[in-house]
Every structure is written in structure tokens, then in C-alpha cells.
Structure 1
Amino acid sequence: MTVATAPPRPAPVRPAATRAGDSERVLHRLVRRELRLLAELSTWAPAGDPARVAALTRHADLLGRVLLGHHAVERDLLWPALLRALPADLAGPARDRVADWTARCAAVDNRLRDLSTAARQWAVAGTPPARDAFALTCLDLAAAVDAQTAAEERDLLPLLEAHLPAREWTAVTRTVRPALSPREQLTVLGLALEDAGPAERARLLSGLGRGTRLVWRLVGRSRHRAAVVRLRGAPPAR
């Protein structure tokens, strides 16, 4: 006796990670890690040491500019490109998710201004209360970034990976003009590479121009290591 059975259902296919989604996650991870490290380093820093204060607040300024620039690219280029690429039945819910992203990022940007103010006050006052206020502001910002990036990675990056054509991501990257100096760009590259696995490292480096890769190999890696040792008192993870 033959028993009819339904054909097996195909296993759900998870969209392959795209360069866009990978890039977003790498930068999120970098900022989350560095903000919490900055809070920890500041807590133990001599409050009245001008050189140490300058090093820590300068790093905070770099992280702030990286994050503000990242938000501007997403707001002005990336999410509009995604919304254009989505089918009609997904576009409406996605607009709501982008609206939520916009509100969360506005709150993060406000905390970035608070951090800038706390950094200036510490530089001027050089007192333990000013130092502690700076460290607490770093922690407050880190918590806001944790929540915002978690929501983005849950609600928007899957759509990005499933629907944004590769040509649109290429167009976004070609439109962006770095607001950082060449030295700062190498610093951010080094920070991004610290937690990257072999595949991520290969992808990050392959996305650079030949000249930039050469500069990184010749001087960038060693300069980054020295800068991290000065800032943290220990070499980078890798």
C-alpha cells in the first residue's frame, strides 16, 4: 500500500551577507568597542594630566566624527537607495523602520554633542569630577549606540542584504568623500581590522585602493600599533 506524502519543504534560505551589510556591522562593532574602552581608560586617567586628557578627548572626537559621518551616509544615500530598491509590499513597513532609525540616531547625535561638551570641560578644568563626567557620558553614549545599532541590524540590515543591488552599494561608496585625514583613515582601518576575522580582513583590505593597501603595509600597521599602545597601554588584539 502506497501512502501519499507531501513533498518536503525546502529549508529556508538565509540571504548571503553583502558587502554593505558586512561594512555596517564592522563599523558598529568598532564604535561600540571603542566607546566602552574610552570610558574605562578615562576612569583611570590622571584627571590633571594635559597630555593624557588630550589623547583621550582626541580619540572621542575621532569616534564622534566617524559616527556622525556614518549616519549622514545612511540617512542621505543608503536608506533612500534601499527604499527605491524594495518591492511595493515591503516599502511601507521599511519606511517606518527608517523613521525609527532616524529618531534613534538623532538621540545618539545629541549624546555626541554632550560628549564633545564633556571633553572640553575636562580639558579646561582638569579635575576628577570633570573626568568622571566625561567617562559617564562615554558610557551613556555607548548604551545608546548599542540599542540603536542592535535595532538597525535587526530591522534594516536584513532588507539591505536581501534587496539592495550591488551596483547601488557601489554607487553609494563612490559618492562618499572621506571627512577624515589620511592618517585618521588609517587609524579607523586599524581599529576595524582588530576584531575582524580572516574573511572580513580580506574583504576590508580588498576594498582599498592599491596605494592605500601599500601604505597600510609599509607604515600604517606599525603606526596603528604604536598609537594603540599609547592610548590603551597595550597593543591591539591583532
Structure 2
Amino acid sequence: MTATAVRPTSLIPAPRAAADDTVPLPAGPASTACRAVAYQRVLHQLVRRELGLLADLGSWAPADEEERSAALAGHAELISRVLLHHHTVEREAVWPALLRAVPAARNAVEAWTARCARVDHMLRDVVTAARQWQVAGTVPARDAFASACRALAEAVEVQTAEEERTLLPLLGEHLAAADWAAIAASSHCRLSGPEQLFVLGLALEDSCAGDRVRLLEGLPWSVRTAWRVYGARRYRAAVVRLRGAPPAA
């Protein structure tokens, strides 16, 4: 199978309900029955981990090694694209759907909007710092990139923790499955075939068993096949090149 078998998709893979979700689950924030909540938590986990790794990898990378700075800059740009798209979908579709069901959530959504505006600005700063490092190839430019990644990782940690505390329980309780299906179907993040498989690997890497099932079931058949045939192998190789160590799982 060639790479062209994986068509660029308009969707970042979103977890679907698995068979074990038919078993009654406890109500409240601990419940993962809502597909939207599962997707949010997987995406948050991915981004938190990768931003922290970028800060660490950047801090000890050779400042003047073009191949290394290009690899880290490319990874920072990809993670930034994924998170910026995620925030756009939340801002334009997820939270409006939640507010239609729970008008009282407006204050929490407004607080989220303010926090995410800062995070989005910092994401663009990281991409700019990465490009400047590529051009300059100096220790100060490398350190500026690593510092920007560290600050962003800390901001995202705070922002996602607050979102998971205040908004995800409401999402799990009040967002209708049909609303989430419509949001997922209309969410256009332009990932190429290789990017799609790489992001899939990032999402699967340290997800729990239930989330892995949901994630894979939410993918087109062609992407699941590509992942099984060669995607997992290529993901492992890409992670070793990027981190100098294999994936967690």
C-alpha cells in the first residue's frame, strides 16, 4: 500500500462510543460516555505532552544543526496547527452548542475564550521563534525557542486543566450525540496523509485502552488499514528521529 491510500482528511480523528460504553457509567465529571469529552481529553493530553517534549528537546539541541532545528520547528508548527484548529472548532461550534443547552455556562465559556486567546497568541510566537532559530542557528535563538515552548506548555497545562474542570462535565452531560456528530463532520483540519497518521500515533501513544478503541473506530477504513499496515511502524521511526527514543507504547 502506498501513502496515497491515505487520503487527506477533513477530520482530526475523534473518539466514538465503543461497546464498553453501553455499560452504565457513573454520572458526573468522571464519566467518559460522551464522545466529545473523550476527544477533548485525548487532544489535551497529546498537546500537553508534545509541548513539554519540545521544550526539553529544544533546550539541548545543537544550536547550529540545520536538520535538527528544522525537525523541531516542523513538529512545533504541526502541534500549533492542530491546537489552533481545535480552539477554532470549540469557539465556533462546540461552545455555542453547549450554550444552547446550558445558557448558564456563558461565564465559563467567556473565561475560556480569554485564556485561549492568550494561548493562541503564544502558539504563533512559538512558530515564529522556531523559524528564527532555523535562520539564525545561534544559541540565543535556540534558547528563545525552548523558552517559548516551555511558557506555552505551562499555559496550556493551566488552560486545559480549567477547561476539564469547568466545561467538560457540562459537555458530557448536556451535549447531544447528534450535535457532536455534526461538529465532527464539519471540522476541517487540513492534514496530509503522513501528518494524519503521525497525529494518530501521537493520540494513541499513551491513551487508555478505551480511548484507543474509540479513536480507531472513529477513523475511515482506509486510515485504519494504513495505520495497521505501515503507519505504526513509520510513527515509531519518526518518534525515534525526533526524540531519540521510541514511543511510550
**TM-score, normalised relative to structure 2:** 0.87
Larger Rg: 1
Equivalent residues of 1:108, 1:144 under 8 A apart: yes
Task: Name the count of aligned residue pairs.
Answer: 222
1:126 alignment partner AA: G
What is the match of residue 153 of structure 1? Answer: 164
Equivalent residues of 2:28, 2:169 under 8 A apart: no
Q: 1:171 aligns with which of 182, 198, 216?
A: 182
Given the alignment of the two structures, is residue 14 of structure 1 paired with residue 24 of structure 2, yes or no? no
2:229 alignment partner AA: L
What is the match of residue 8 of structure 1? Answer: none
Deviation of 1:178 after TM superposition, in Å, equals 2.5
**In structure 2, C-alpha distance between the alignment counterparts of 1:14 and 1:115, rounded to whole Å:** 36
What is the match of residue 221 of structure 1? Answer: 232
Listed one character per residue, the Cα deviations across residues 8-42 of structure 1 (whole Å, up to 9, x for unaligned) are xxxx8436321110110010010000001011111
Unpaired stretches in structure 1, ≥5 consecutive residues = 1-11
1:61-100 pair list within 5 angstroms: 61-86=77-102, 91-92=103-104, 94-100=105-111
Q: Give percent identity, aligned residues only.
A: 60
**TM-score, normalised relative to structure 1:** 0.91
What is the match of residue 213 of structure 2? Answer: 202
What is the match of residue 141 of structure 2? Answer: 130
**In structure 1, C-alpha distance between the alignment counterparts of 2:227 and 2:166, rounded to whole Å:** 35
1:149 alignment partner AA: T
**In structure 2, C-alpha distance between the alignment counterparts of 1:34 and 1:97, rounded to whole Å:** 27
What is the match of residue 230 of structure 1? Answer: 241
Listed one character per residue, the Cα deviations across residues 33-80 of structure 1 (whole Å, up to 9, x for unaligned) are 000101111111110000000000100000100010000000001111
2:198 alignment partner AA: T
Unpaired stretches in structure 2, ≥5 consecutive residues = 1-25
1:66 alignment partner AA: V
Given the alignment of the two structures, is residue 32 of structure 1 paired with residue 48 of structure 2, yes or no? yes
Given the alignment of the two structures, is residue 187 of structure 1 paired with residue 203 of structure 2, yes or no? no
**In structure 2, C-alpha distance between the alignment counterparts of 1:13 and 1:67, rounded to whole Å:** 29
Equivalent residues of 2:48, 2:157 under 8 A apart: yes
Deviation of 1:83 after TM superposition, in Å, equals 1.0
Q: 2:69 aligns with which of 53, 57, 66?
A: 53
1:216 alignment partner AA: W
**In structure 2, C-alpha distance between the alignment counterparts of 1:150 and 1:13, rounded to whole Å:** 20
Q: Secondary structure at the match of 2:182?
A: helix
Higher relative contact order (CA closer than 8 Å, sequence separation 6+): 2
Higher mean displacement: 58-67 or 169-178: 169-178
2:28 alignment partner AA: R
Listed one character per residue, the Cα deviations across residues 104-156 of structure 1 (whole Å, up to 9, x for unaligned) are 00000111121122111101110111101100000000011011101100110
